[in-house]
Structure formats: C-alpha cells, structure tokens
A and B are shown apart, each in its own frame.
Chain A
Amino acid sequence: MTVLELAQQVVWGFVATFGFGVLFNVPTRMLVFCGLTGAAGHACRWALVQQDVHMVSATFVGAVVVGLLGYAEAQRFHLPRSIFTVTGIIPLVPGVPAFETLVYLMRDSITEGLAAAVTTGLRSGAIASGLVAARLLSLLVDKAHRGERLRRWQQRGD
C-alpha cells in the first residue's frame, strides 16, 4: 500500500459517490460532501483490506466512518442524515457478489451461487450494523435531538 495507491482509491471512491449523488438528485451544493463521505468510507475499507483485515469487518468499519461523517454533516448543514449516508455507502454496497450470485445460480453452479449469496448477505449486514453503530454513537453525543412534539407522539397511549 503506497500513498499513491491510496490517493487513487480516494479519487475513484469520490467519483463513484459523486455520480450516484447526481443520480439521486442530491442538493447540488452537497454533492462534494457526499463524494468526500463515500471516498472516506471506501478508502478506510480499502486500507484495512490491504492490511489483511477480513472484507466483512472492513466493510463494517467503512460503514461506521460513513455514518459518523454523515451525522456530522447533517448537524452542520441541518439536512437529513440519509442524504450523506445513503450516497456515501454506495461504494461499499456488495454489487459484485450480488451479481456473482445471479450469474452462478443461472448457470446451475449452485454451490458457488450460495457462497456468493452468503457473502452478499454478510456484507449488507455489515453495512447496516455499521450504520446502526454510528447512529448509537451519535446518540451518545446529542440527547436533545428529538422535538417535544415528536416525543408526545411517540409516547402516545402506551
């Protein structure tokens, strides 16, 4: 792992996230921040995988990074967190194993297909648990997050 390789990964992660940000109609002035979020998550995962960390664990760490960055940006710009996390998570989404699952299964290679399906599920789970972990960490920071009105609705009748 050299600095140059890392820089390349950052750039590609940025381009990939930025492109999907345009597709998802992200507010234009936020596109760069979405791109940086995605680049950070992808670069973290790539660097960990280079250090022989397992792909699933590395994906978890990448998702935590995306979730925490998304939280900070959402606070800073008063926008919903999902704008930054949903686009930022895109480079981590297990598109290739999902694709492999389909190709193998349609070719009657059941064993390989199931293996790829399990890989897809594990990485999706790692993404989700990473985002949830980031959410829980951010709840430690701010507790006065929810408005009075919403609290009234959530405590209704029970």
Chain B
Amino acid sequence: MPGLTREELNDLVDIMLDIGQLMLQSGAASFRAERTMALVGLALGAEQLEIYVTPTGMVATAICGAEQRTRTRRTGPSGVNMARIAALNSLSRYELDGATLASVRERVNVIKTQPRELPAWTTIPAVAAACGAFALILGGRAPEFLAAAAGAGLAQALRLWLHHVGMTNPFAATVLAAFGASLMAWGVDSLIAGKHIELAVIASVLLLVPGVPLVTSVIDLTNEDLVSGVTRGVLALVLALSIGIGVMLTLWITGLRILP
C-alpha cells in the first residue's frame, strides 16, 4: 500500500475520532473505543497509531512514513446505544477488506444517523415493566408492581420530553425524573393501599441508577485506564446523588418516612 499524503492522514484521524466519539457516547468502555479506532486506522493505511481515550475527550496520532497528524476531540457520555456499538464493532472487524477512506467515512455517517431499533416511546412501557419486575424481586406484591411501573413510566416519559425540549443536562433531568417517579409511585401505592410503599418508591427510580457507568468504571480500572475509571465512577456518583435529591424532595413533600 502506498503511503498516505498529509491530507489523507488528516481524514484518517478525523474518521478515527468520529468512531471513538460515537463509541463513547454509546456507552462503550475506553479500551473498546481505542481498539475499534486502532483497527480502522491501521486498515486504512496508518503505519503507527497512538490513541488515548477518556470519557470526556480523546487524542489520536496517526503516523505514515515521514508524515504524522495529531488531533484532539472533546466529547461527553450521552446514554447507552448497543446497536451502534454493534455496528461499529462489525465495521472494524468484518467490513474493512478493500475499504477506502471515502467508503469508511460513508459507513460511519450511516451508523451515526441510524434511527433507534424500536421507536423511542417503546422505552416507556419497557422500563415500566422492568421496574415493576424489580419491585416484585425486592419482595413487593401486585400494588407495588403497579406503583413502580407507573412511576418508572412517568420518569421515562419525562426524560424523553426533557430531551425533546432541549434540556439535555443529565443531572437536572435525573433530579426531575426521580422526583416525578417517586411521587407517582407514592401516590399510586397509597391510592390502592399497598403495604410496602418504600419498595415501590425504590423500584420506581431504579431505571435512573447509573448501572452502566458504574460497571464500566470498574472494567476501565481493571484495564488500567485509571483516568477513565475514576471519571466514570464520579459520573455515576453524581447521577446517584441526583436521584437522591429527587427522592428527598418527594419524601419531604409527602412526609413519608422510608427505611427504618
């Protein structure tokens, strides 16, 4: 393969950063993003790569012959999107034979604009059922199932709406969603005379618990990505605090006392 020109190397680094950004924003661990970027960069003709990914930004250097390009990209985590991770993984592993810069650029753009697998509203009944199931796992009965499902459904609808009107700050959205969910769960469970209001309230906010950052943080740490691991851990902590604030508001308004 002939060496890449300066402009081509520039494009290559740009594609790699796009891929890394999409991976991070879909909830991938840092080492996973780095590997995907490396596979694509090497397949497109770079001779040597240096890649450093953290959850809030990344640096990539591509070297080919006497030329080298380095660029940084600021980014931020924004949710979990498994279909996107799967598509990028498939691109980096199975679709690179005979690929050119233009063809990979096109494929990345297609992946970037891919709609969700199921319409966004389907997440509302899905998380409602999931949080209802958690209420049962925790030892609740039918009233708790209903209350937790109603609260979680409301919280997810609220999150979608907030996202729709442009309020994208995850911490503020989590406070509001937790407040709405716990208030709804309390209301429904009191109305139908459930015996374990605290279970309903806890289960209704479980959809907001930052499980993916929490687990990814430990995965990062075991891969010696200390910066990524600590950053994701702190993100999980602040999100958890946001849930706590939302629930506290509900407990304060309703005068409910949960936990002994």
Chain A residues in contact with chain B, CB under 8 A? 8-9, 11-13, 15-28, 42, 78-80, 82-83, 86-87, 89-91, 93, 95-96, 98-106, 124-125, 127-128, 131-132, 147, 149-150, 152-153, 156-157
A131 touches B219 (CB 8 A): yes
B222 touches A132 (CB 8 A): yes
B218 touches A125 (CB 8 A): yes
Interface of chain B, main secondary structure: helix
Could you list some 25 contacts between A and B, CB below 8 A? Answer: A9-B137, A13-B133, A15-B132, A16-B133, A18-B126, A19-B126, A19-B133, A23-B80, A25-B117, A26-B82, A27-B117, A28-B117, A80-B32, A83-B82, A86-B27, A86-B212, A89-B211, A95-B134, A99-B202, A102-B247, A103-B244, A103-B248, A127-B218, A150-B35, A150-B38
With A93-B214, A127-B215 as contacts: A22 and B83 at CB distance below 8 Å: no
A91 touches B137 (CB 8 A): yes
Contacts of B32 in A (CB 8 A): 80, 82
Report the minimal beta-carbon distance from A89 to chain B, rounded to whole angstroms. Answer: 6
B117 touches A26 (CB 8 A): yes
Q: Does B43 contact A (CB under 8 A)?
A: yes
Report the minimal beta-carbon distance from A126 to chain B, rounded to whole angstroms. Answer: 10
B219 touches A128 (CB 8 A): yes
Near A by CB (< 8 A), chain B positions 15-33 give: 27-29, 32
Distance in angstroms between the alpha carbons of A12 and B140 in the assembled complex: 12
Q: Which of B35, B86, B117, B133 contacts A79 (CB 8 A)?
A: B86
Contacts of B123 in A (CB 8 A): 22-23
Report the minimal beta-carbon distance from B254 to chain A, rounded to whole angstroms. Answer: 14
Chain B residues in contact with chain A, CB under 8 A? 27-29, 32, 35, 38-39, 42-43, 48-50, 80-86, 89-90, 93-94, 116-118, 122-123, 126-134, 136-138, 156, 202, 205-207, 209, 211-212, 214-216, 218-219, 221-222, 240-241, 243-244, 247-248, 251, 258-259
Report the minimal beta-carbon distance from B137 to chain A, rounded to whole angstroms. Answer: 5
Distance in angstroms between the alpha carbons of A133 and B248 in the assembled complex: 38
The 8 tightest CB contacts between A and B, nearest first, are A19-B130, A102-B244, A128-B218, A22-B126, A93-B211, A15-B133, A19-B126, A12-B133
Most chain A CB atoms below 10 A, which of B127, B202, B215, B218 = B215
Known: A93-B214, A106-B244. 19 other contacts (CB 8 A): A12-B133, A12-B134, A12-B136, A15-B133, A18-B129, A18-B130, A20-B207, A23-B156, A24-B82, A25-B84, A25-B116, A78-B94, A80-B86, A101-B240, A124-B214, A124-B218, A128-B218, A152-B42, A156-B50
